[in-house]
A = this chain, B = another copy of it.
């Protein structure tokens, strides 16, 4: 009997915990994924996750899965649980040896549900570090949540101090891009600033929500190149990701940030009231 905290997983709609070794997801990282919060018994910002997944399939020329089928499979693995995390993985499916995509790929979809108990305890403000591992500039893959994640693996392996919650990653040219598991926002002179992701980084679903809220609230927002020095002189820094929403940064190394920043408080309040 499996533990109540064990993930529940469907592979191509069937209860299963394995994929073929010839799957191009395993052989080449040839696929995409989404991490989705389950809240009040529903996937949060489902439409935005579905849109990003479809956009990724289009850019990688992977035949798109049925979003209705994915939603149905997510309901099955959720099995009535009201909160937790889901992961949907879509790969180009099995194939012969070699890089050439099969002429008629049969994509693999994996839908997994991870009960809330496995999520890390909520912490109101995060302690950050600067990572040494840098992100390569690759416009062909920028923005995608694809399965080629060795840069994040190496960056996350840089620390095991449990008091450090996240690491900021620079690109190879020194600009600030994002954190290992989150997108990054700054408040600079009451303007919301987030790094452009047209050359590297993951275009997060929660980042998009926050930008939309800021726009509707009349908060000036800039999406552009950000240098490390600008992060250090920002009046506030916060992170976004699908599971945690907005998380304020308490410190980056020795540098402390204020506990209260009106722009961030407004965004957090508005995000809480959003249906997703």
Q: Which residues on A are within 8 Å of B, measured CB to CB?
A: 7, 9, 11, 16-30, 33, 35, 60-61, 85, 87, 89, 92, 96-101, 103, 110, 112, 114, 118, 133-134, 136-141, 146-157, 160, 172, 180-181, 200
State the CA gap A27–B96 with chains docked (Å): 20
Residue of A96, A99, A100, A134 most packed against chain B (CB within 10 A) = A99
The answer to whether A20 and B21 have CB atoms under 8 Å apart is no
The answer to whether B25 and A26 have CB atoms under 8 Å apart is yes
The answer to whether A99 and B152 have CB atoms under 8 Å apart is yes
List 21 A–B pairs whose Cβ atoms lie within 8 Å, in order of A's numbering: A11-B21, A17-B20, A17-B21, A19-B21, A27-B89, A27-B147, A28-B147, A29-B29, A29-B149, A30-B153, A35-B97, A97-B114, A98-B156, A99-B155, A99-B180, A99-B181, A101-B153, A134-B140, A136-B141, A146-B150, A148-B149
Output the least CB separation between A70 and chain B (Å).
15
State the CA gap A200–B19 with chains docked (Å): 30
The answer to whether A141 and B147 have CB atoms under 8 Å apart is no
The answer to whether B28 and A9 have CB atoms under 8 Å apart is no
State the CA gap A140–B24 with chains docked (Å): 23
Output the least CB separation between A172 and chain B (Å).
6
Residues of B within 8 A of A22 (CB): 7, 17
The answer to whether A141 and B150 have CB atoms under 8 Å apart is yes
| 7 more A-B residue pairs beyond the given contacts A17-B20, A29-B150, A96-B118, with a C-beta to C-beta distance below 8 A | A18-B19, A25-B26, A27-B89, A28-B150, A99-B153, A100-B156, A136-B138
State the CA gap A172–B101 with chains docked (Å): 23
Output the least CB separation between A39 and chain B (Å).
17
Output the least CB separation between A145 and chain B (Å).
11
Residues of B within 8 A of A136 (CB): 136-138, 141, 200
State the CA gap A20–B23 with chains docked (Å): 12
